[in-house]
Amino acid sequence: MTNVTRFPLLVLVGLMLGSLGLGCAERPAKVQRFGQVIGIKKENIAEYKRMHAACWPGVLKNLKDCHFRNYSTWLVEIKPDEYCLFSYYEYTGDDLDKDLAKMKADPVRQEWLKLSDPLKYKLPTAKDGEMWYKGEQVFYMP
Amino acid sequence: MTNVTRFPLLVLVGLMLGSLGLGCAERPAKVQRFGQVIGIKKENIAEYKRMHAACWPGVLKNLKDCHFRNYSTWLVEIKPDEYCLFSYYEYTGDDLDKDLAKMKADPVRQEWLKLSDPLKYKLPTAKDGEMWYKGEQVFYMP
């Protein structure tokens, strides 16, 4: 085989390897999705927005380290002057209980929650011991 | 340069190209996210779940063709016996207005909505002319 014929072959090998692996390392096949909701008083919305537009790097690092990703939070006015926050996020790890325990043990996160938890209020329908009401997934399209 | 030294170089070139492109064709860099909410009466929940557990292929195809993806819907009990549906989805196209018009014009979707729209009710806070209340994104972590 000449160098001329070998060149495209080797690039092709690399292309295949790259396609399989490196480029999509952040998109594993196994994903658990979550949707959860909590209340927020109108007077706390501005501060909640301010905090979450500049979330502490340590809080984000902790979430990433615990295999959470694609995390968004949405403000909705359910009724006039009655507001909720809805969060959607994905978990890509192998042990959710272990990662949740790791997440909660993080001192930076604990400091963050001392400031952000008082801005929200638990819905009357939320389970005992849980701040957020966990939604039930009723539809999914990839 | 000998063939021995050229081999890893060419594979590396391919790896880089593959990482950038082929493998992640389904994950474009540009994504618009949406979160929206609507009400649902308790007596309609079972039928809504049944329909959405077996959504018509034509409805899914239409959404895909219009560049929507990663679409999930969540049932939440906001207050005792008061329910909402929250949907999170991503748009990867270049022209949202055009794709929304295409989506709405689809006859299969229109048939689907004749059955599923009556199961939901518009929130009092939703905008005129819109079934769903569009949430405001207040946080995002990739």
Rounded distance between C-alpha atoms, residue A29 and residue B45, angstroms:
30
Confidence band (pLDDT; 50, 70, 90) for A96? Answer: very high
**Do residues A50 and A2 share a domain?**
no
Q: Does A71 share its domain with A100?
A: yes
Q: Answer yes or no: do A27 and B27 touch at CB < 8 A.
A: yes
Neighboring chain B residues of A75 at a CB cutoff of 8 Å? 135-138
* pLDDT at residue A31 in the model: 97
Total tally of structural domains belonging to chain A: 2
Tell me which chain A residues have a C-beta less than 8 angstroms from the C-beta of B84.
37, 78
Whole-number pLDDT of residue B102: 98
Distances A15 to A5, A6, A119, B17 between C-alpha atoms, Å: 16, 14, 49, 6
What is the mean predicted confidence (pLDDT) over B91-104? Answer: 98
Mutate to test the interface with B, among A47, A51, A88 (most CBs of B within 10 A): A88
CB contact under 8 A, B138 and A11: no
**Helix residue ranges per DSSP H, chain B:** 3-20, 45-53, 57-65, 96-105, 107-116
- What is the count of residue pairs from A and B with beta carbons less than 8 Å apart? 208
B97 band by pLDDT with thresholds 50, 70 and 90: very high
Q: What amino acid occupies position A137?
A: Q
Digit-coded pLDDT (tens) for A1-37: 555 556 555 555 555 544 444 444 445 569 999 999 9
**Residues B73, B20: one domain?**
no
Chain A nearest-CA distance from B77, in A, is 6
If asked whether residues B107 and B57 sit together in one domain, one would say: yes
Two tokens, residue A58 = 């340590």
Q: What are phi and psi of A85, to 5 degrees?
A: -115, 130
Q: Quick check: is B140 in a domain?
A: no
| pLDDT of res. B11 | 54
Q: Residue A55: its chain B contacts at CB < 8 A?
A: 139, 141
Quick check: A112 and A59 in contact, CB under 8 A? Answer: yes
Long-range residue pairs from B5-13, CB within 8 A, at least 24 positions apart, any chain: B6/A3, B6/A10, B7/A10, B10/A6, B10/A7, B10/A10, B10/A11, B10/A14, B11/A10, B11/A11, B11/A13, B11/A14, B11/A17, B12/A14, B13/A11, B13/A14
| Residue B118 burial (10 A CB sphere; 0-12, 13-18, 19+) | exposed
> Is the predicted ipTM greater than 0.85, yes or no?
no
- Output the pTM of the full model: 0.82
CB A73 within 8 A of CB A52: yes
CB-based contacts of B9: which residues, under 8 Å, 6+ apart? Answer: B1
Question: Do residues B66 and B41 share a domain?
Answer: yes
Chain A residue numbers with beta carbons less than 8 Å from the beta carbon of B112 are none
Cα angle A72, B31, B105; round to 5 = 110
B64: domain CATH number is 3.30.70.100
Same domain flag for A69 and A88 = yes
Q: Is A141 a member of any domain?
A: no
Q: Is the pLDDT of residue B1 over 60?
A: no
- The reply to whether A63 and A120 lie within a common domain is yes
Spell A94-113 as b/e; 16+ CB within 10 A means b.
Answer: eeeeebeebbeebeebeebe
Across the interface, whether the CB atoms of B88 and A78 are under 8 A apart is answered no
Are B10 and B69 in the same domain?
no
Residues of A in contact with B6 (CB under 8 A): 3, 10
In DSSP terms, B34 is beta-bridged to B89
| Nearest Cα to Cα of residue A72 among B132, B34, B63, B86 | B34
Query: Do B18 and B44 fall into the same domain?
Result: no
Q: Which domain holds residue B115?
A: 32-134
Based on the domain organization, do A92 and A46 belong to the same domain? yes
Nearest CA in chain B to A72: B140
